[in-house]
Structure 1
Amino acid sequence: MSRLLLTTTLLAAIASQVACDRGSSTLAPDSSEAPRAAPAADYHARADALAHRFVILDGHVDVPIRVAGAVYEGLAAPPVHDHTDDGDFDYARARAGGLDAPFMSIYTPSEFQDEPGKSKAFADQNIDFVVALATDHPDKFALAVTPEQVRSNFARGLISLPMGMENGSPIEGDLANLRHFHERGIRYITLTHGKDNHICDSSYDDAHTHAGLSSFGREVVAEMNRLGIMIDVSHVSDDSFWQIMELSAVPAIASHSSCRHFTPGFERNMSDEMIVALAERGGVIQINFGSGFLDAAYREAEEAGRAELDALLVEHGTDWQAPEGKQLIAQYRAEHPLPRVGVAVVADHIDHVVSVAGIDHVGLGSDFDGVGDSLPDGLKDVSMYPNLIAELLARGYTDADIEKICSGNVLRVWQAVEDHAE
């Protein structure tokens, strides 16, 4: 990774990406309720203890692409093995927050899929970075390709680095590449990203190229089931989702999605019907922490601001990446602050999943390092999981509930996929 030279197209893609469950008595709150008071201090003490007692698995952390972006800009790679003020993840903060198994996102920009070989090579380079992180710092990190390895690493005091591939474009139309990435440690694949690809349609693309899955995409679903790779339905179109539900022989995950109930019309999030269908097949939705995924007012203000910024940059003959453009953006944002979103809103999404699907079907998928400065107050980086746990405790969630949300539900799905493959 340290030798990687990214193209200007990738930086634009990064900028776009950054810009852009309990079967008991817990009920989803009314969105019209006044903001809740912060949980009492005793909840925080208990939450911190639970955060270090239970495995915390986060379905989506974008550390590899953050490092790649730094290298492009000529900066030293952030020392995620130690402590850094850059980004949302490093070892010290992960330890403080009790994070034990962040799925490292092996992200590939959609623009790469038009050039044969580029997506696969880029994915391999990002996997190399994760492997080196574990190999070079064996006292801190370890790779994990099974739930049992996650638990074993936890017992040894190590942070596991499982890997999920965000965007299936590196498969490049060849099931042999799917087997290659399984051998390299990929244990879930988000089938597409910002555009339709050769596997399926994207929730962000209006082209509806395949009206869901392509014929090759159907082969990919079957082969992922056979190999033991979890299918991730985040980013896929609704048509793609329903076809995956019909075809997959094992449960699926949404590694970093939230509830469309709170963001009407935002297809990237999941509707209640989709959450129920995912749960009926044993799957889990892992809640995204980005404020645009959580709150409609924030999302509307963000989109309006982006349109105004586009016009402002054109007026001044600059762009999002130029120094002058960045200065204009900073000034605009200081003068037009976005609505504040807090940790309680993440808990609202968890409550909602629980109310429609049950406690066994919700988890955490922060999108740390992938949603820029849109993270909620109280969940700004990987040191802050106890704040969310405290909020859940204040709402009446039990220790057993917390363990399921932190990791138990996703580890169950992962094990079911492994068992089916065997």
Structure 2
Amino acid sequence: MTVEHVETLVIGAGQAGIAMSEHLTKLGQPHLVLERHRIAERWRSERWDSLVANGPAWHDRFPNMTFPDTEPGAFPPKERVADYFVAYAAQIGAPVRTGVAVTKLQRKADGQGFRAETSAGVIEAKNVVSATGPFQRPLIPTTVPAETGITQMHSSQYRNPGQLPEGAVLIVGAGSSGSQIADELNRAGRKVYLCVGPHHRPPRAYRGHDYCWWLGVLGLWDVEAREPGLEHVTIAVSGARGGETVDFRRFAQEGMTLLGRAQSFEDGVMRFAPDLAANIAGGDANYLSVLDAADAYAAREGLDLPEEPEARVMRADPDCVTNPITALNLAGAGVTSIIWATGFALDYSWMDIDVFDAKGQPQHHKGVSTVPGLYFLGLPWLSSRGSSFIWGCWRDAAYLAQHIAARTPATQTETV
């Protein structure tokens, strides 16, 4: 059997894999990038049709290439984002091999490197970088049985309003995906019920600068650890229609019905926690904390930025907040579809290596795992708040490439 040997194997050719390839190339480190589909495939086939980047083009990019035909303050549509990574891979000459899936990864018997079984054969490598990202296995609760006849899908399967049967839609989860999909369906004339859990709801822009800019000058992108208790708090932010602040009260004024967290389903009735008002208030507190921090920074630095007092004006609570619905007969409400915007879980079932903790999380420090030669890249909070963003994983990749170069002398790729 022919076994291919490489110095470093990078698994995944999304933003993390392409960033890793650039830095390995700069350091003269031979490597190979495997991608089971196409470069940046999830942007093309696992997101809804109208999705745009949640950050402006000047921010959500690699340092050495801007988005073509895109204004710096615009939010590129998903296909343009995928095309960006394809073009970037070509620009740096990334050795990407597409259409090859890694089905199993193990340490070699002698402990010197790794053996990867792929759909195209076996590859052995001294180093392996897992760059498969955080969006691996959609989480779909089994709360509502399939026998109800209600169409159910994860947000990664949703494409557009025409995909769903006629009738009302229940969306569970109001982070960036859930809130944007809910807004799109509501604008398309659908009756929408939206479950809103604990969340952060930052301003899209304030005093002439985008939220991403404020996070930068406030030093918040570089924060290295989440505050205790905030591990699972979602962020509702949107680049839709040129970028706008997610406002759940506005959603309600435009016809949407807000609900608390979904709890259970029995005899056709979905029950919700009585926490909607508290969750809305928590989002408001987060929103105002950003304004406060921005104002304090502007004053401290003597910045001549336009005042924006209207940003602190909140709409009145709608009836669905002051008189929350805690039980809803789905058939009676005309609900024919449920979209579970409930996030993703990591899936390393293909990695047969003792490197995970009791919760299935890889054990690492800034991407350097507890197993010599094995690395992780592109995960949230890998080294800081910015780690899962395009520019953030580029920075993390530079660190990992230096680590790989320090432990492994450069050699030539060979086949035996």
Normalized against structure 2, the TM-score is what? 0.25
Structure number having the greater helix percentage: 1
Larger CA Rg, structure 1 vs 2:
2
Structure number having the greater strand percentage: 2
Normalized against structure 1, the TM-score is what? 0.25
